Chain A
């Protein structure tokens, strides 16, 4: 019985360690790089969660593998809502806002000046509701 408990505890500990290790790896990768590569696939951002340092200027290189157009908009909830109801046909001039046509690669650069969470969204009709969203956690 004691041995069974020990094995169970070992399995739980190993699982937790794997989760922590994976998270730390993701954080380190994003924080130590000024370029983040994002893939748009099946109307999702892959990956969809990032961690960056406050003050970092990050270049996003976005590859759209889908046969439909997407966009990547960085900003808080207000920005996302404005784009959700907006009528701009395409983006590219504003930092952190870029349209990515089907099968194409596009870039945008954004400076994360404040700590907190910056949302990522695609506001092609129905895409945000479908779940095409993500977040960047900005840490000190």
Chain B
């Protein structure tokens, strides 16, 4: 029986990957087009029931202000500047030759007003953590100078139905220039979120994009065990690295700023590269950090029809494999 289930599980993971984006990923809602986010890098580390979400917003020149909306899977207990080399160190770690590679949330707030949970400024970034339904968060964003593209109402509603928590990050390009930030310089943000399992929003990456626009991002996961991912088969998503984190990596990350939460024991490092067309990214990446088992279909934003297709393909894969064994 297990010989049948194992390939089925693998197929589920593979098919699921066909359609995902990630947590460090944000939808750019820029008003004037003079500033844009390029490739985004994100770490979603999960240890002891706490998610440490680290992403960087890069200064790309231009002037004025621009911002991003990032859906969050839970309410952060801490928002602070991320370490100086964590993301870069992860990139260097996985640029080696490729290997073969909810905390229960309250129902989406239906209030007319988004609730501001936390506000802080990190370098030239104004960070606001919001709780509210899609329309309420959209209204808040508009009132604070964001220009929402036409797909924003649907995308925000979709995320709010799963988690009514959002992070609005507003980059003050003028302040960045005064601080001496150069084009390409990133400001890492570290969010600490109590959470049963990480959840990486990928659909938000396509916000405001045309169907053929390229979406590129790197998503890193650090978990106690090899995680189960859902979905895992996606034209724009590829598994680039899946192996125990090396002692050198663990030591390097642990010595970075605000990274002393990392255990002295090893963790499992997963690297997913997002590189596809905007139309490919219609749902998110759900992670079961405990390893075996299926991550939540709901957290991945996967419709029942697509879920059924995934199960059908996985069943077919199991049969094919059985036939050839």
Q: Which residues of A contact B (CB under 8 A)?
A: 41-43, 65-68, 102-103, 124, 126-127, 129-130, 132
B154 within 8 Å of A (CB atoms): yes
Residues of B within 8 A of A103 (CB): 135, 139
B149→A126 contact, CB < 8 A: yes
Q: Which residues of B contact A (CB under 8 A)?
A: 134-139, 141-142, 148-154, 156-157, 208, 210
Closest B residue by C-beta to A66: B153
A66→B151 contact, CB < 8 A: no
A67→B139 contact, CB < 8 A: yes
Tell me whether A68 and B148 are in contact in the complex, defined as CB-CB below 8 angstroms, given that A42-B157, A103-B135 are known contacts. yes
Closest A residue by C-beta to B140: A67
Of B137, B138, B141, B208, the contact of A66 (CB 8 Å cutoff): B138
A65→B135 contact, CB < 8 A: yes
Tell me whether A102 and B150 are in contact in the complex, defined as CB-CB below 8 angstroms, given that A42-B157, A67-B134 are known contacts. no
Residues of B within 8 A of A132 (CB): 150
In the assembly, what is the distance between CA of A26 and CA of B153, in Å? Answer: 27
Show 18 residue pairs from A and B whose CB-CB distance is below 8 angstroms, ordered by the A residue: A42-B154, A43-B150, A66-B138, A66-B153, A67-B137, A67-B139, A67-B141, A68-B138, A68-B142, A68-B150, A103-B139, A124-B150, A126-B150, A126-B208, A127-B150, A129-B210, A130-B150, A130-B151
Closest B residue by C-beta to A122: B150
In the assembly, what is the distance between CA of A68 and CA of B141, in Å? Answer: 10
Residues of B within 8 A of A65 (CB): 135
Minimum CB–CB distance for B274 against chain A, Å: 23
Closest B residue by C-beta to A128: B150
Closest A residue by C-beta to B148: A68
Residues of A within 8 A of B151 (CB): 43, 130
Given contacts A66-B135, A68-B148, A126-B208, 11 further A-B contacts (CB under 8 A): A43-B150, A67-B137, A67-B138, A67-B139, A67-B141, A67-B148, A67-B153, A67-B156, A68-B152, A103-B135, A130-B151
Closest A residue by C-beta to B153: A66
Minimum CB–CB distance for A118 against chain B, Å: 22
In the assembly, what is the distance between CA of A126 and CA of B31, in Å? Answer: 13
Residues of A within 8 A of B156 (CB): 67
Closest A residue by C-beta to B137: A67
B153→A43 contact, CB < 8 A: yes
In the assembly, what is the distance between CA of A102 and CA of B134, in Å? Answer: 13
In the assembly, what is the distance between CA of A129 and CA of B208, in Å? Answer: 12
In the assembly, what is the distance between CA of A130 and CA of B210, in Å? Answer: 8
Minimum CB–CB distance for B106 against chain A, Å: 21
Minimum CB–CB distance for B6 against chain A, Å: 39
In the assembly, what is the distance between CA of A75 and CA of B93, in Å? Answer: 58
Residues of A within 8 A of B136 (CB): 67
In the assembly, what is the distance between CA of A41 and CA of B151, in Å? Answer: 10
In the assembly, what is the distance between CA of A102 and CA of B137, in Å? Answer: 13
Minimum CB–CB distance for B176 against chain A, Å: 26
In the assembly, what is the distance between CA of A124 and CA of B149, in Å? Answer: 10
Q: Which 4 A-B pairs have the closest CB atoms?
A: A67-B138, A42-B154, A43-B150, A130-B150
Residues of B within 8 A of A67 (CB): 134-139, 141-142, 148, 152-153, 156
B153→A42 contact, CB < 8 A: yes
In the assembly, what is the distance between CA of A67 and CA of B135, in Å? Answer: 5
In the assembly, what is the distance between CA of A103 and CA of B139, in Å? Answer: 9
In the assembly, what is the distance between CA of A37 and CA of B261, in Å? Answer: 56
Closest B residue by C-beta to A70: B150
Residues of B within 8 A of A43 (CB): 150-151, 153-154
